[in-house]
Amino acid sequence: MAKVKPAKGGASGAGRRSGRNRGLWKSLRIRILQIFLVLVLLPPVLTVIYSVVPPVSTLMLGRYIQFLWVDRQWVPLDQISPNLIKSVITSEDSGFCENHGVEWDALQDQVEALSEGEKPRGASTLTMQTAKNLFLWGDRSYFRKALELPLALTLNAILSKKRVLEIYLNIAEWGEGIFGAEAAAQAWFGKPAKDLTRVEAARLATALPNPLARNSAKPAPGHRRLAATNLARVTAAGPIFGCVL
C-alpha cells in the first residue's frame, strides 16, 4: 500500500500563521498600552509646561487648524482688572478659593437631580472649565463631564489658584474668534483689560455662558439684568477672592 505523504509545510505553515497572529496581537496590545499611557501622562506633563508657558485652548487650536481668525493677547493676572476677576469668580465659581478643583456637593446634587429625571445644571467650577478648555471639546456630554473631574484635580494639584484663573481668563471665549480678557476688553470696550469698570466687567462675566449670542458692549435687556445681579452679588460676596487678590 502506498504511503500518504503529509502536505508539504502544512503543520509548520499553520504554526507560522499562529505565531504571526500572536505577534500581531502582542504588538497591538503594546500599542494600545502606549496610547493609554500617553493619554494618561500627557495632561500632567502639559500642565507643568502651562505653569510657565501661555497655553491655547482646544477651541483656539481648532480655529488655527481651519485658518480661522483668532484674537488672543495674553496678559498676566495683575494686568486684568480686579473688577473682572471678582465678577467672573462670583458668576462662575464663588467657591473657587476654597474648593480643590471640584465642588463635590454641587456635583452630587446634580447627579441626584439627573436620577430624579430633572435636567442637571452647572456644577462646573472654574478649574473644571479651564480643564475643558485646555484638553477637551465643547459639546456637552456626560462622558466629557466625567473626564473633566480628574483633569480639574490635576490642574488644582499642580497649578496655583492664581495661575488657574490667569489661564482661564486668557483662554475664555468672548465672541467669534475673541479669546481672553485683553482681546475681549479691546473688542467690546476699546480699552485694556486692566481698565475695565465694574459695569463692563459684570457684562463680560455674564456673557461667558453664551459668548456668541451676548454682546457685552450692547447687552440685551436680559443680559443687563444678569449684569446688574452680578454687580449686587460682588458687592455682597464677602472675602471670597483672597486667593487671587
- Beta-carbon contacts of residue 124 (< 8 Å; ≥ 6 apart): 92, 93, 132, 145, 148
CATH of 40-235, one of 2.60.120.560, 1.10.3810.10, 1.10.287.110, 3.40.50.2020: 1.10.3810.10
The per-residue pLDDT for 99 is 94
Mean pLDDT over 43-67 rounds to 95
Residue type, position 83, single letter: N
Share of the chain above pLDDT 70, in %: 85
The residue with greater pLDDT, 176 or 30, is: 176
- Per-residue pLDDT of 137-165, as tens digits, reads 877 778 888 899 999 999 999 999 999 99
The per-residue pLDDT for 9 is 53
Angle between the 82-92 and 221-235 helix axes, to the nearest 10 degrees? 100
The per-residue pLDDT for 13 is 62
Residue type, position 69, single letter: W
User: What are the two backbone dihedrals, phi and then psi, of residue 71, each rounded to the nearest 5 degrees?
Assistant: -115, 105
The per-residue pLDDT for 8 is 52
Question: Would the pTM count as exceeding 0.75?
Answer: yes
- Per-residue pLDDT of 11-29, as tens digits, reads 566 666 666 777 778 777 8
The per-residue pLDDT for 107 is 73
Mean pLDDT over 186-213 rounds to 97
Helix (H, G, I), strand (E, B) or coil at 167: helix
In this structure, the dihedral spanned by the alpha carbons of residues 200, 86, 206 and 184, taken in order and rounded to 10 degrees, is: 50
d(CA 211, CA 99): 26
The residue with greater pLDDT, 34 or 130, is: 130
Mean pLDDT over 83-88 rounds to 98
Confidence of residue 233 (pLDDT cuts 50, 70, 90): very high
- Per-residue pLDDT of 99-138, as tens digits, reads 999 998 877 766 665 565 555 556 789 999 999 999 998 7
Share of the chain above pLDDT 90, in %: 69
Domain map (residue ranges) of the chain:
40-235
Q: How far is CA 226 from CA 61, 91, 100, 140, 206, in A?
A: 31, 9, 27, 23, 6
Confidence of residue 56 (pLDDT cuts 50, 70, 90): very high
Calculate the CA 52 to chain-centre distance.
Answer: 18
- Beta-carbon contacts of residue 242 (< 8 Å; ≥ 6 apart): 97
Q: Are 177 and 68 in contact (CB under 8 A)?
A: yes
The per-residue pLDDT for 117 is 57
User: What are the two backbone dihedrals, phi and then psi, of residue 125, each rounded to the nearest 5 degrees?
Assistant: -80, 170
The per-residue pLDDT for 118 is 55
Cell for 174?
468672548
Query: Average pLDDT, whole number, for the chain?
Result: 88
